[in-house]
Every structure is written in C-alpha cells, then in structure tokens.
Amino acid sequence: MKQLIVVVALSVASLASVPAFAKADCKAYPKAEWMPQADAKAKIEAQGYSISKFKVDGNCYEIYGRNKAGKKVEIYYDAKTLEPVKSEIEK
C-alpha cells in the first residue's frame, strides 16, 4: 500500500512540473461564418507552417506543427478571420 501511495505521489509531482498551455479565448461566431477547414489549412501552410495536427478547440482552430525555422509551434486561430489568437513556439 505504501508503494502505491509513493507511486501516485511521484506521478502527481511529475505532472505539476509540466507547463500547461492555457486555451485561447476566440470570439464565438456561427459555424456557417467559419472559414472552411481546408481553406484554413491551405492559408496556414502558405505562410510556411507544416501542420502535423489541425483541430477545432472551442471557437478556435488549433494547429500543432513547425514553422519555417523548423521549430515546434502550437497556434490558436480565430475560426472566421484566421488571425492568430495565441501561440507558443519551441525555444
């Protein structure tokens, strides 16, 4: 039982040290006004990003991928205008 408690405590402690990337606060639009996902992907890739994952997160489009310099990125975009709302780039 003590071993289980130690394992759980270590697991929780290791998760506490992982930085969390808070969700972006994108403006809510009716889905009919959102840029089509295929168009959004094409525009993002035309800016020099390679996309490994593209998803809808709340009212945002979110990508995981790499920028022109090859650094990992996580970027939230406004689903209607495709303006970046929040981003994180690997150091």
Biggest CA pair distance of the chain: 56
Is pTM beyond 0.95? Reply is: no
Rg of the chain over all Cα atoms, to the nearest angstrom: 17
Smallest CA-to-CA distance from 40 within 27, 54, 28, 53 is with 54
The residue ranges of DSSP E strands in 41-83, in sequence order, are 50-57, 60-66, 72-78
Instruction: From first to last of the 91 residues of the chain, give the pLDDT tens digit.
Output: 555 454 444 444 444 433 445 678 999 999 999 999 999 999 999 999 999 999 999 999 999 999 999 999 999 999 999 999 999 999 8
